[in-house]
Amino acid sequence: NAGVTQTPKFRVLKTGQSMTLLCAQDMNHEYMYWYRQDPGMGLRLIHYSVGEGTTAKGEVPDGYNVSRLKKQNFLLGLESAAPSQTSVYFCASSYGAGPYEQYFGPGTRLTVT
Amino acid sequence: SQQGEEDPQALSIQEGENATMNCSYKTSINNLQWYRQNSGRGLVHLILIRSNEREKHSGRLRVTLDTSKKSSSLLITASRAADTASYFCATDVLYMGSGGGADGLTFGKGTHLIIQP
């Protein structure tokens, strides 16, 4: 099993450009999450999904949109990138809520100039 | 805002020594998890401890939880160079989104552990 994969691994955007980050998991997990990690910081939750067709806001949702059209995929979109969105983005999935571990992807390093 | 705070922010020890890092949190929890992150990689789950547990072991890892003090500690015994990484505690948090509530995790800033050979 590949676990959680993320595409792309690196990306450089100019301010105002848009892009979509793709997350895929092959563990049949219901829950999926998008986090961002800034230098010296822990992870902050952007959006999450509790199942196919559902999405919800996390701690820092502004400037991002998400979609979960298929159970195994969770897309994170930036409609108009800003330098403040320069970060490392991690996708994660879990079997359920509560006492379940989250499985993380390798991350996408995004730079917005 | 971040729930958990790890202490110390950085720790450097000799290989073979024990490493202890602490986590404090602010509000009541159902469970607490510890994760490891190697440089430039995603997080890897280490151990989960429930609020009704006081101590848990997994290999060279020992986690304690004191809910009265809202704190947890992670002990790594007989450290190895491969243990060099950042360690994060994560506590459950309830996010109220469309369709109802869902438990998520909130992470601290981490302890960066360096094992000197």
Structure confidence by residue, pLDDT tens digits, A36-45: 999 877 899 9
Q: What own/partner pairs with CB < 8 Å and gap ≥ 24 does B47-51 have? A: B47/B74, B48/A99, B48/A101, B50/A99
Residue A60, chain B, CB below 8 Å: the answer is no
Q: Which of A39-48, A60-69, A80-89, B5-14 has the lowest mean pLDDT?
A: A39-48
Cβ contacts (< 8 Å) between B53 and chain A: which residues? none
Cα distance from N-terminal residue to C-terminal residue, chain B: 37
Candidate from A42, A58, A105 with C-beta closest to B2: A42
Each residue's pLDDT tens digit, B50-105: 999 999 999 999 999 999 999 999 999 999 999 999 999 998 866 554 444 455 78
Local structure of A85: helix, strand or coil: helix
pLDDT band at B3 (very low <50, low <70, confident <90, very high): low
Residue A39, chain B, CB below 8 Å: the answer is no
- The average confidence (pLDDT) of chain B is 89
Q: Identify which of B92, B110, B97, B61 has the alpha carbon closest to the alpha carbon of residue A94.
A: B92
Which is higher by pLDDT, A59 or A104?
Answer: A104
pLDDT at A23 over 70: yes
Query: Encoding tokens for residue A11?
Result: 């990306």
pLDDT at A16 over 70: yes
Give me the pLDDT at residue B1, please.
Answer: 47
Cα angle, residue B80 at apex, residues B75 and B83 outer, rounded to 5° = 65
Chain B nearest CA to A102, separation (Å): 7
B107/A103 CB distance under 8 A: no
Q: Which residue of A has its CA nearest to B33?
A: A101
pLDDT at A68 over 50: yes
A58/B92 CB distance under 8 A: no
Local structure of B82: helix, strand or coil: helix
Each residue's pLDDT tens digit, B23-54: 999 888 888 999 999 988 899 999 999 999 99
Give me the pLDDT at residue B96, please.
Answer: 53
Candidate from B48, B99, B107 with C-beta closest to A50: B99
Residue B48, chain A, CB below 8 Å: the answer is yes
Candidate from A57, A99, A106 with C-beta closest to B42: A106
Cβ contacts (< 8 Å) between B48 and chain A: which residues? 99, 101
B43/A102 CB distance under 8 A: yes
pLDDT at A111 over 80: yes
